[in-house]
Amino acid sequence: MKRSRRVMLGLALLAVMAMPARAERRSGRMAGPMGKLAEIRDPLEEVRQEIVYLNLINGLNLTPEQLAKIVKLADRRDMIVKSYAPRASALTREAKPLLAELKSTLEQQKEVPEDLAQRVTRINHRDKRLRQELMAQLARAGEEIEDILTDAQLTVVESYEPCVVLPPDRRDPVRAGQASNSAIGEEMLRRIRSMSDQEFRTRGRRMVDYGIERVSRNQGRLSSKEKAEERKRLLALVNKARAMSDTEFEMKKEELAKEFKPKQKIKDLQHQINEARIGTRISRAAQLLMNPTAIKVLRKRAKQMDVALK
C-alpha cells in the first residue's frame, strides 16, 4: 500500500509541477526580473519575428489563390481550437480544487491520501487525452497546407533556417512558384554542395529524409527497408555531387537533379493506416505557416495584393 501511495504521489507531484510551467508559457511572461526584461524586449522581438517570416514568405512566391487558401485554413484551425475551449474550461474548474487540496497537503508535509492522488491522476489523464485529441485535429488540418503548396515551395519551407538576415547564398533563391522540376533539384544540390561537412551532417541529411517521408506519405507508403534503401541511394548521389568539381557539376547537374528526386510508389488504399500514422504530428509547413506571426504577415501581404480573404 505504501509503495502504491508513493507512486501515486509521484504522479500527482508531476501534475502540480507541470501546471505553472504550462501557465507561464501560455501567458508569455516569466516572473521576476527576467519577466520585466522580456516585457521590455517584447516590441523588438515582435518585429524580429515578422522579419523571420517575411524572409520565408518572400522566398515562396505565393500566388493570390494560395494566400487566400492558407489564411482560410488558419481561420479554420482557430475555430477548431475555440471548439475545445468549453471542455478545457470545465476541466480546469474541476481540477482547480483538487490541485489546491493537493498543494495544501504537500505544504503541510502530510501524506497524500490515495483517493486524492488517484483523482488528480485521473484528471491529469483526461487533460492529456483532451490535448491529444485537439492536436490530432490540428495535425489533420495542418496536412492540408501541403496540398496548397507546390513541391518546390515545400522544399523551400523544409530547408528554411529562421533568420533575420538571409545568408548571401539565399538572397537570390530560385523562385519556388516558377521553377521547373529540374531547376528545383539543381538548386537543392547547389545548396547541399555549398554546405560545410558539419552543416551537411544536420541540414543536408534532414532535407533528404524529408523528401523520402513526403513521398511515403503522398505517393504510397514505403516500408522501413525501402526508406533505408532510398536514403542510401540519395546520400550516395549527394556525396557524389559534393565531390565533383564546379565544372563537372555544371555539366552533369540536370542528370543529377533528375536522380535526386525520391522514387515514388503507386499510392495505395491505406487511408486508415495513414491517419493513424499522422497522429499528432504537425508538419513543418504547418508549424511555420500556421504560426500567428506568419498569418499576420500573410494577411498584410494579401491586403497589398488586393486578395479577397472571405
Local confidence pLDDT in tens for the 310 residues of the chain: 444 444 344 444 334 333 433 333 444 445 566 566 666 667 788 888 899 889 889 988 899 999 999 999 989 988 998 999 999 999 999 999 999 999 999 999 999 999 999 999 999 999 999 988 888 888 888 788 888 988 778 878 877 877 888 766 555 554 444 444 566 678 888 888 888 888 888 888 888 887 777 666 655 567 788 888 888 888 888 899 999 999 898 888 888 887 876 554 433 333 343 444 444 567 788 888 888 899 999 999 988 888 877 6
Q: Are 58 and 297 in contact (CB under 8 A)?
A: no
Is residue 54 in some structural domain?
yes
Is residue 170 in some structural domain?
yes
**Could you give the CA distance from residue 36 to residue 187 in angstroms, rounded to a whole number?**
45
Is residue 31 in some structural domain?
no
φ, ψ dihedrals at 140, nearest 5°: -65, -40
For 211, the domain range is: 1-14+45-310
Is residue 109 in some structural domain?
yes
Total domains, the chain: 1
Is residue 276 in some structural domain?
yes
> What's the pLDDT score for residue 169?
54
> What's the pLDDT score for residue 37?
60
Is residue 303 in some structural domain?
yes
**Could you give the CA distance from residue 92 to residue 17 in angstroms, rounded to a whole number?**
16
Is residue 34 in some structural domain?
no
